[in-house]
């Protein structure tokens, strides 16, 4: 079996809970409200607060805007999901 065969039942997934927690911590430290953060990220507050329970899928553009605003690499919020 090749190394590629070992990964065929795996995929990369955003860890939305971790993304939300990190964004919320940064928001709280800056004393900002969700509407203020949402305005900065060009989205609705519901898109951001929905990350907490992973109720909504997050688009790649928004996820990348969040990681850039946090000054963190996207890889900090991506996990390998094995099926």
Contacts 24+ apart (CB under 8 A), 9-13: 9/82, 9/83, 10/80, 10/81, 10/82, 10/83, 11/80, 11/81, 11/83, 12/78, 12/79, 12/80, 12/81, 13/78, 13/79, 13/80, 13/81
Domains annotated on the chain, with CATH? 16-72 (1.10.260)
Does the predicted TM-score (pTM) go above 0.95? no
What's the pLDDT score for residue 31?
A: 98
37-58 per-position pLDDT tens digit = 999 999 999 999 999 887 667 8
The whole-number pLDDT of residue 2 equals 54
Which pLDDT belongs to residue 1? 46
What local confidence, expressed as pLDDT, does residue 55 receive?
60
pLDDT at 20: 96
Query: What pLDDT does residue 81 have?
Result: 85
Low-confidence spans in the chain with pLDDT less than 70:
1-8, 55-56
């Amino acid at each position: 079996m090749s190394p590629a065969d070992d990964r065929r039942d795996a995929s990369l997934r955003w860890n939305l809970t971790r993304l939300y927690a990190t964004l919320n911590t940064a928001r709280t430290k800056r004393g900002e409200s969700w509407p203020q953060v949402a305005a900065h990220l060009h989205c609705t507050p519901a898109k951001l607060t929905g990350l907490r329970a992973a109720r909504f899928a997050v688009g790649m553009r928004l996820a990348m805007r969040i990681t850039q605003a946090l000054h963190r690499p996207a890889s900090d919020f991506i996990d390998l999901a094995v099926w």
